[in-house]
Amino acid sequence: GENVEQHPSTLSVQEGDSAVIKCTYSDSASNYFPWYKQELGKGPQLIIDIRSNVGEKKDQRIAVTLNKTAKHFSLHITETQPEDSAVYFCAANSNTGNQFYFGTGTSLTVIP
């Protein structure tokens, strides 16, 4: 099955700085890559996603890039704010599209 690796496991940045989280995947058949944010005491919530026919997608301060050849994708958060502090998970779909494989998560702390 798919194997998704995520780095770093923890990340601290000063408010206003950028944060980058990187993931790699193993199955070249994966074609959908969502990113989830999990705040304390809540379930994960989608913040952005990208499909394999696109190399980059942006939504305000959040962007995701995908390199299909290298099988890696990254989350970029610019102008970080304290409310960005959370655990972030990357994921890749299976070759059947019926399930997702998740990375191990990155705990982001934005220091005011």
Partner 1 sequence: DVKVTQSSRYLVKRTGEKVFLECVQDMDHENMFWYRQDPGLGLRLIYFSYDVKMKEKGDIPEGYSVSREKKERFSLILESASTNQTSMYLCASSPRRNTEAFFGQGTRLTVV
- Residues of this chain that bind partner 1 (CB under 8 A): 1, 6, 9, 31-32, 34, 36, 41-46, 49, 51, 89, 93, 96-105
- Report how far residue 96's alpha carbon sits from residue 112's, in angstroms, rounded to the nearest whole number: 43
Nearer to partner 1, 42 or 112 (CB): 42
Nearer to partner 1, 14 or 42 (CB): 42
Nearer to partner 1, 41 or 112 (CB): 41
- Report how far residue 72's alpha carbon sits from residue 55's, in angstroms, rounded to the nearest whole number: 11
Residue indicated by tokens 């496991």: 9
Q: With 0-12 CB in 10 A as exposed, 13-18 as middle and 19+ as buried, what is 111?
A: exposed
- The distance of closest approach from Cβ of residue 9 to partner 1 in the complex, given in angstroms and rounded to an integer, is 7
- The distance of closest approach from Cβ of residue 46 to partner 1 in the complex, given in angstroms and rounded to an integer, is 5
Report which DSSP code applies to 8. Answer: -
- The distance of closest approach from Cβ of residue 59 to partner 1 in the complex, given in angstroms and rounded to an integer, is 14
- The distance of closest approach from Cβ of residue 34 to partner 1 in the complex, given in angstroms and rounded to an integer, is 6
Q: How is residue 41 written in tokens?
A: 């005491």
Nearer to partner 1, 42 or 69 (CB): 42
Q: How is residue 108 written in tokens?
A: 């982001």
